[in-house]
Structures are given as structure tokens and as C-alpha cells.
């Protein structure tokens, strides 16, 4: 078959990818983050390029710079809005009367201890409080302050390098949208340049739509949870919404983790005197908010955003996410959809004669057909 004759096209790619992952994982992460930012900024770059002021037009480099500054402004603004909320929440949690809450829960704790002793999970003369104190003391003794300070300084240095690298790469990816393709040309035979050009063009188009949709979903989830928590009377509603929204990026598993953390944080708002009496009702109200938001996300937001942005059936998406989670855990679940989209675009170019490929790429291929003729020529 014709595609078998081009096995050598992918061999340099595979060698390069494995080398990057094995030896330069940090650099690969910088490149991926920069690509995501550039994909989100490309629609704005194209819009600015299309503007005309009489006979003048905005230089492409300026359009890329404006788009990058706009995205960074939005991200920094969100961070600056969230940081005060996190600081206030940290101060509030530091003032929580843990001893008072434990005292109000003493009877349930005593019953729990009796059950644990009965089934052998706790020593006869032991207690939950003593066990927690023992574990905490062992943890504190194992922590080396000097090592921790050194690690913290190293992390700050690495973060600074990472932020600068991502911003630097993002600008050039936006300014020269053929930069990635020009780099790949050096590793591929001349007779495959047309296919590579189309793969990169269609990938950029579809993944831009996906990542814009992802952040739209993130904003909607944070907003819904924050409003719900505010309605039930929680002062830290925004903080809970942000935590739950960020974890929601992890498909299926993320909402459970975010909901659990949000419920724990919400319960700390109760005073020790009210904890035993009102914690149950508050927990039910918070669960209603999380479950309602998750239902809206699963049956309204995700079908509208993901199935339309990547042109895949929801069952396909579900199965691919489960497979990716089995292989690579939460990280695999996060990158499952964009990776699957990229693989389908590659399959359209090289394996479209297979019935199986035609079945799983039918809707995507129809969408790509609309862009036929827009892709740049391979010799650019």
C-alpha cells in the first residue's frame, strides 16, 4: 500500500518526539504551552490582520504582539482577581477553631473510634487524635527546612525561566504561523510536505476551536458554582468555584476531586457551636450545587463545546478519555481530546482509504472539506 512506502516519513518524527520526552521534558512542556497560547491567539491575529485603516494595515508582527499582550492581560487579570480571594481564604482557614469543631463532634468521633477498635483498625488504648498527632510529628521531623528553602528557590528560578520561555515562544509562534512547519520540513521527505502542511493547518484550526471552548467551559463552571455557593450563603463562594473549576479540567475524575475539596472548605465556615447541627444540611446544599453544575456541564456545555469543536461523537470522546486515563492517568485524560483530534487529522491524510478511518473521521472530514483551498502551499 502507498502509505507503507512512507514509513520513513514518520521515523524521524518518532525519534525526535521520544528524544524530547526523554531528555528535554521541561522544554517540551514550554513548547506545548506556547502552542496552546498561540492557538488561542491565532483568531485574534487573523482578525487584526484583516483590519484596514484607509489603505493602511496593521503589520503582522504588531498583530501577533497585540494578541499575545491581550491573552497575557486576561490571564494576569484573572490571577490578580483570584490571589486576594486565596489569601483571604487562607487567613480565614488559619483562624478556624479546629479544637472547637472537634469538641462539637466528640460524640460522633467516640462512636467512630469504638467501631475502628471493634474491627481492628485502631489500637485498644488508641485514639484518632493521638494517631493524627503522631503522624503530624513524624512528618514535621522528616521535613528539612534548609532542603525545603533550597527547593523553593529552585522552583522560583525554574518558574521564572519557564514563564519567559513560554512568552518568548508564543510570540514567534503567533508571528510566524509557518515556523513549526518549516522546522518539520527538515525531518521529512520532499514528497510528503503537502500532507504535513495540511495536517498542521487543519490541526491549528480545530485545536484553536477546542482550547477556546475549553476555557469557555472553565469560565462557565466557575461562574455557576460560585453563584450557587453564594446563594446558599457561603462567603468563600468564589474560592470554591475556582478550585472546583480548575479541577474540572480533568474529565470525569476532576469534578469529584473539586467537589470534595469544595465541600471541606465550605464546612469550615461553620462555627463550632453550629457545626454538629448544621454541617449535614450545608453538605447536602453544596452537593446539590456541585451535582447540578456537573449535570449542566455534562449534558449542555460539553456536548455543545467539545462535540462540535472536534467533530466527534460524545461516546467516542468518553471512550478515548477512559483509555487515555488508563495509560497516563489524569494528565492523559486532560490531553486525550486534542491528541485524538490530531491523530484523526493524520489518519485522514494517510489512511483515509480504510473503512474504519472513514467511520471515525466522517464528521471531521466534512468540516475540513470546508477549509479546502485555505491552507497555505507547502513551498511557503
SS3 for the chain is CHHHHHHHHHHHHHHHHHHHHHHCHHHHHHHHHHHHHHHHHHHHHHHHHHCEECCEECCHHHHHHHHHHHHHHHHHHHHHHHHHHHHHHHHHHHCCCHHHHHHHCHHHHHHHHHHHHHCCCCCCCCCHHHHHHHHHHHHHHHCCHHHHHHHHHHHHHHHHHHHHHHHHHHHHHHHCCCHHHHHHHCCCCHHHHHHHHHHHHHHHHHHHHHHHHHHHHHHHHHHHHHHHHHHCCCCCHHHHHHHHHHHCCCCCHHHHHHHHHHHHHHHCCCCHHHHHHHHHHHHHHHHHHHHHHHHHHHHHHHHHHHHHHHCCCHHHHHHHHHHHHHHHHHHHHHHHHHHHHHHHHHHHHHCCCCHHHHHHHHHHHHHHHCCCCCCCCCCC
Is residue 121 in some structural domain? no
Is residue 40 in some structural domain? no
Q: In the prediction, which pLDDT does 223 show?
A: 92
Q: In the prediction, which pLDDT does 3 show?
A: 47
Domain hosting residue 300, numbered range: 190-380
**Residue 205: Cβ within 10 Å count:** 19
- What pTM does this model have? 0.68
- As a whole number of angstroms, the distance between CA 169 and CA 346 comes to 25
How many structural domains comprise the chain? 1
Q: In the prediction, which pLDDT does 145 show?
A: 54
Nearest to 163 by CA among 82, 74, 72: 72
Is residue 130 in some structural domain? no
Work out the angle between the directed axes of helices 25-50 and 145-175 (0-180°, nearest 10).
40
Q: In the prediction, which pLDDT does 217 show?
A: 87
Is residue 357 in some structural domain? yes
Q: In the prediction, which pLDDT does 229 show?
A: 92
Q: Measuring CA to CA, how many Å separate 8 from each of 167, 186, 191, 199, 361?
A: 34, 13, 12, 17, 24
Is residue 181 in some structural domain? no
Is residue 199 in some structural domain? yes
Q: In the prediction, which pLDDT does 231 show?
A: 93
**Residue 4: Cβ within 10 Å count:** 6
Is residue 207 in some structural domain? yes
Is residue 366 in some structural domain? yes
- Give pLDDT tens digits along the chain (380 positions): 444 455 555 566 667 667 766 777 777 778 888 888 888 888 888 888 888 777 778 888 898 899 999 988 988 887 887 777 777 766 766 666 666 666 666 666 666 667 666 666 665 665 656 666 666 566 556 555 556 556 666 777 777 888 888 899 888 888 887 777 777 676 666 777 777 778 888 887 788 778 888 888 888 999 999 999 999 988 788 888 988 888 888 877 788 888 988 888 888 777 666 666 777 888 899 999 999 999 998 888 877 776 666 677 777 777 888 888 788 777 777 788 888 888 888 887 777 777 777 777 776 777 666 666 555 545 54
Amino acid at each position: 500500500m502507498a502509505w507503507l512506502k512512507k514509513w520513513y516519513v514518520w521515523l524521524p518524527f518518532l525519534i525526535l518526539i521520544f528524544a524530547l520526552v526523554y531528555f528535554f521534558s521541561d522544554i517540551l512542556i514550554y513548547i506545548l504551552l506556547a502552542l496552546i497560547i498561540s492557538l488561542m491567539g491565532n483568531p485574534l491575529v487573523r482578525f487584526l490582520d484583516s483590519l484596514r485603516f484607509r489603505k493602511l494595515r496593521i503589520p503582522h508582527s504588531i498583530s501577533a504582539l497585540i494578541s499575545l499582550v491581550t491573552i497575557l492581560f486576561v490571564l494576569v487579570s484573572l490571577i490578580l482577581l483570584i490571589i486576594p480571594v486565596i489569601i483571604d481564604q487562607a487567613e480565614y482557614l488559619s483562624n478556624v477553631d479546629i479544637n472547637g469543631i472537634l469538641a462539637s463532634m466528640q460524640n460522633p468521633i467516640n462512636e467512630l473510634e469504638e467501631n475502628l477498635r471493634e474491627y481492628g483498625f485502631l489500637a485498644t488504648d488508641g485514639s484518632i487524635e493521638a494517631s493524627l498527632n503522631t503522624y503530624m510529628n513524624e512528618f514535621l521531623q522528616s521535613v528539612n527546612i534548609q532542603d525545603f528553602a533550597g527547593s523553593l528557590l529552585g522552583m522560583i528560578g525554574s518558574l521564572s525561566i519557564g514563564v519567559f520561555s513560554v512568552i518568548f515562544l508564543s510570540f514567534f509562534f503567533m508571528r510566524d504561523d509557518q515556523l513549526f512547519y518549516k522546522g518539520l520540513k527538515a525531518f521529512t521527505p520532499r514528497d510528503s510536505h503537502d500532507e504535513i502542511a495540511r495536517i498542521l493547518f487543519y490541526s491549528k484550526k480545530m485545536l484553536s476551536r477546542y482550547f477556546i471552548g475549553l476555557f469557555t467551559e472553565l469560565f462557565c463552571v466557575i461562574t455557576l458554582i460560585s453563584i450557587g455557593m453564594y446563594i446558599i450563603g457561603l462567603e468563600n463562594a468564589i474560592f470554591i468555584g475556582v478550585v472546583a473549576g480548575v479541577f474540572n479540567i480533568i474529565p470525569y475524575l476532576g469534578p469529584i476531586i473539586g467537589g470534595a475539596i469544595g465541600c471541606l472548605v465550605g464546612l469550615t465556615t461553620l462555627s463550632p457551636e453550629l457545626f454538629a447541627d448544621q454541617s449535614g444540611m450545608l453538605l447536602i446544599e453544596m452537593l446539590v450545587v456541585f451535582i447540578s453544575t456537573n449535570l449542566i456541564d455534562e449534558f449542555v456545555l460539553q456536548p455543545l463545546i467539545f462535540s462540535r469543536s472536534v467533530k466527534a461523537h460524545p461516546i467516542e470522546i468518553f471512550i478515548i478519555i477512559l483509555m487515555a486515563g488508563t495509560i497516563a492517568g489524569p494528565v492523559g485524560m486532560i490531553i486525550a481530546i486534542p491528541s485524538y483530534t490530531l491523530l484523526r487529522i493524520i489518519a485522514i491524510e494517510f489512511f483515509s482509504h480504510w473503512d474504519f478511518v472513514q467511520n471515525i473521521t466522517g464528521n471531521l472530514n466534512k468540516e475540513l472539506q470546508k477549509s479546502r483551498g485555505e491552507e497555505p502551499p507547502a513551498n511557503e
